[in-house]
Structure 1
Amino acid sequence: MSNTPAEDSVTTIRNIGPALARAGIRTATELRRIGAETAYTRMIETGTRPHFIGFYVLVMSLQGRPWNDCKGAEKAALRETFDAIVARTRQSGGAHPELERILDRIGTGARR
């Protein structure tokens, strides 16, 4: 059980699920404080497989916007940010490099 008051649970933010708790981010306050980039980096480092849609849903949710509101140049810029996060976690060994290598080899890994 968590000591987090229900009103500050990360799940009070629309479209946010349990992957953040697995990354040690349990409160909406903390998530807002650290932001989407740091939160998503932690998620990858704790075993979440990188996926662009998951990242931009997190960004949109923190802005209070519907997940599918991301389009055009904004979506392209978020893709660049996502790719940079994935590259950094791979370089630091935070993502599972062997698994990522295999997924890339069969064509299902995160875009480089």
Structure 2
Amino acid sequence: MAVPVSSIRNLGPATDAVYAGAGITSAEQLRDLGPDAAYERLLQSGARPHFIAYYAMVMGLQGRPWNDCQGGEKTALRARFDAIKARVAASGQTPESAIEAILNQIGTGARR
């Protein structure tokens, strides 16, 4: 039986459903993907980006408490997080971007 994602430090029971929505259904799968690829999948599945959720997951995969992230390490993680968001936004691979494209096509979406 697969060990749930929520067994990883800093990740609570609600994360099981969020990660499952991105096709990540076990702690082992999350570890195998690594934090950046896993978070990219979350965003592609429609999850909203949240820096604290990202670095809490990174810290948890290292067996560290979420609030252990400080200083230069936190700054470096912020740069990784921003790069993930930018890649996903540029790819147009989110459910929201597909809806926005349709709304823009029919003239009711946000103007860019």
Deviation at 1:94, TM superposition (A): 2.1
Equivalent position of 1:12 in the other structure: 7
Unaligned runs of 5+ in 1: 103-112
Percent identical residues:
52
Unaligned runs of 5+ in 2: 101-108
CA distance in 2, matches of 1:94, 1:61: 27
Equivalent position of 2:25 in the other structure: 26
Asked whether 1:55 is paired with 2:58, we answer: no
CA distance in 2, matches of 1:75, 1:94: 27
Query: If the length of structure 2 is used for normalisation, what is the TM-score?
Result: 0.78
Q: Would you say how many aligned residue pairs link Structure 1 and Structure 2?
A: 97
Equivalent position of 1:106 in the other structure: none
Q: Deviations over 1:31-76 (max 9, x none)?
A: 1111000110000000100111111011001001001110000000
Query: If the length of structure 1 is used for normalisation, what is the TM-score?
Result: 0.78
Deviation at 1:80, TM superposition (A): 0.2
Equivalent position of 2:105 in the other structure: none
Q: Give the 4+ runs in structure 1 shifted more than 6 A.
A: none
CA distance in 2, matches of 1:60, 1:14: 8
Larger radius of gyration: 2
Deviation at 1:77, TM superposition (A): 0.2
Deviation at 1:30, TM superposition (A): 0.8
CA distance in 1, matches of 2:8, 2:93: 26
